[in-house]
Amino acid sequence: MKNIKGRSLKYGDNINTDIISPPAYMELSIKEASKYTMSPIDINFSKVCAPTDIFVAEKNLGSGSSRETAPLMLKELGIKTIIAKSFARIFYRNCINLGILAIQCEETDKIDMFDIIEIDYLNGIIFNINKNEQYICEKIPKHIMEFVEKDGLINYLKENLK
């Protein structure tokens, strides 16, 4: 896999699972519910979200419940990469298990909505093309990238346990 490049969809601190996946829509299929992703704070999120976009937040992303609907709804909209200063542990793990790359970066406050960013996940560098800046992020281990490249842990296990 090469560097990851896309447009940032930027949000702040404490974006919890009820914001990402509003409970009022849990009875719907993921495809239907994804129309309401982030709707408590951004009613247009599902309309502006594009398959190469990168979800960016600040501290404590994904706190709240442990349900997988939050990362599943983001994935349904095409989000394959998420960057945050810090993640709730279960949300982070759910992302990786579902094949979404979750990257910690202490400098997400320097990224703005719709900045074009490129992530060198092997070397731990994020390039902000709009601002001509670089930020240090965590390097992603090979085994985590294998889960992401196989579109999740289940697919990885199916392929490697034959």
Per residue of the chain (162 residues), give pLDDT as tens. 589 999 999 999 999 999 999 999 999 999 999 999 999 999 999 999 999 999 999 999 999 988 899 999 999 999 999 999 999 999 999 999 999 999 999 999 999 999 999 999 999 999 999 999 999 999 999 989 999 999 999 999 998 887
Cβ count near 85 (within 10 Å) = 17
Residue 83's DSSP bridge partners are 56, 103
What's the confidence (pLDDT) of residue 76? 97
Q: Where are the alpha helices (DSSP H) in 77-123?
A: 89-97
Contact present, 100 and 82 (Cβ < 8 Å): yes
What's the confidence (pLDDT) of residue 66? 81
What's the confidence (pLDDT) of residue 162? 74
What's the confidence (pLDDT) of residue 1? 59
Contacts of 68 (CB under 8 A, 6+ apart): 94, 97, 98
Helices 142-149 and 153-160, axial angle in degrees (round to 10): 100
Q: How many domains, the chain?
A: 1
| Residue 124 domain boundaries | 4-160
Q: What is the pLDDT of residues 35-55, one digit of tens each?
A: 999 999 999 999 999 999 999
Question: Residue 105's domain is classified under what CATH number?
Answer: 3.20.19.10
Q: Which contiguous run of DSSP H or E holds residue 153?
A: helix 153-160
Q: Phi then psi for 42, rounded to 5 degrees? A: -150, 90
Contact present, 30 and 143 (Cβ < 8 Å): no
Average pLDDT of the residues of the chain = 95
Residue 56's DSSP bridge partners are 10, 83
Tell me the two tokens of residue 162: 């034959």
